[in-house]
Structure 1
């Protein structure tokens, strides 16, 4: 359970911004396990929790910089090749939407709320993950990547970019996040943040970063001023 009950928003937001990995698509559990195994096999023991704490929520460029510092340039490239190949195979076999998120998107659409995705991931990665899970058609023209900005999360740039492209003031945006870096980025952008505590980051870490917590996707619609999906 969450450390405290989350309260519904007083009014519906002008724009709901979904993070991608761990919020829309259940990539984090697969990818971080593979990355931990690969780093360990390369002589740098890492648990899945270590990978989450160090890399989750960061842009690909920032993550690669950290890997280069750890492994050196050549071995960082080797890690990237090995982990990417295994991750693609795992996604093809196992990747699915985060449980309950399809119903959330249905509720948001039915209410006429505007929504988009803003992620540290590249457009190519989101094309793969959203496409594999059947969610890509729901975000056509509304996919925003940290590739488009100078700084990734925890800087606010990708969220401010998304709000500007969607024509909504940051103060009218609500961000759905599952990583500490994502929560910090959204807060720095001046946006309300709802933190999905059903992911890997841990509820207390998300709360301390400034998120209002929810445990399951079924808990999210009332936080957006919508019906309670448990009784729908």
Structure 2
């Protein structure tokens, strides 16, 4: 494999995974809850509009936007109900994204470093990884949007994840599924891979600078050493 093969994860010093929609199959559940809740509060949106406006962003950013539109009290209520209803939905239905456990096993065997960079809270990220059996793959190598001033689509979260690992962002690859996430990964100077198994349209992910792929099995780990070794 060469540097022209972005899907070869062995070409990088660090693989940074988004959590929701990439590691855990939570985005569809979340968007359904968001759409229903917003309608109850007086802001009707299509599924596509919810995805475009909120997917990949932090809870704080969503609450602020709802507050700007419907009032601060409604925004705060939205945040409370969203956490409550999503927690129940995850308890009932959350699973690892197809192919992720096998991919993480292969990366571990190959000695490719990995971490998580998510818009979720530390508690929420941990709960989802535990529930889906993925927590042991990452240990404490997790970064949350609450640790940075600006969440996705800003580059801050990915720069933080790279800094924690002692990695040059230019030698990192980010696996994302949202336009906000891909935008932030590109702005951070990393290679952005856009997973097509979630909800964001392929054209928008590619326009943001992501290399689109359909299945986790499309991500390769070459038998050769990384570049520079």
Name the structure 2 match of 1:128. 127
1:44 and 1:226, CA in 2 relative to 1: closer, same or farther beyond 3 A? farther
Deviations 1:109-142 (A, max 9, x none): 1111000001111101101211111111211110
1:7 and 1:193, CA in 2 relative to 1: closer, same or farther beyond 3 A? closer
Shift of 1:84: 1.8
Contact 1:8 1:225 in 2 (8 A): no
Mark the runs of 5 or more structure 2 residues left unpaired by the alignment: 225-229
1:169 and 1:76, CA in 2 relative to 1: closer, same or farther beyond 3 A? same
Matched, 1:75 2:74: yes
Distance of 1:156 and 1:8 partners within structure 2? 21
What does 1:96-107 correspond to in 2, within 5 Å? 96-107=95-106
What does 1:162-177 correspond to in 2, within 5 Å? 162-177=161-176
Name the structure 2 match of 1:57. 56
Mark the runs of 5 or more structure 1 residues left unpaired by the alignment: 1-5, 228-232
Deviations 1:91-111 (A, max 9, x none): 101000011111111111111
Distance of 1:146 and 1:28 partners within structure 2? 17
Contact 1:57 1:181 in 2 (8 A): yes
Contact 2:7 2:193 in 1 (8 A): no
Shift of 1:197: 1.0
What does 1:153-192 correspond to in 2, within 5 Å? 153-192=152-191
Shift of 1:71: 1.6
What does 1:205-220 correspond to in 2, within 5 Å? 205-220=204-219
Aligned pairs, number: 220
Which stretch of the first structure deviates more once superposed, 134-143 or 169-178? 134-143
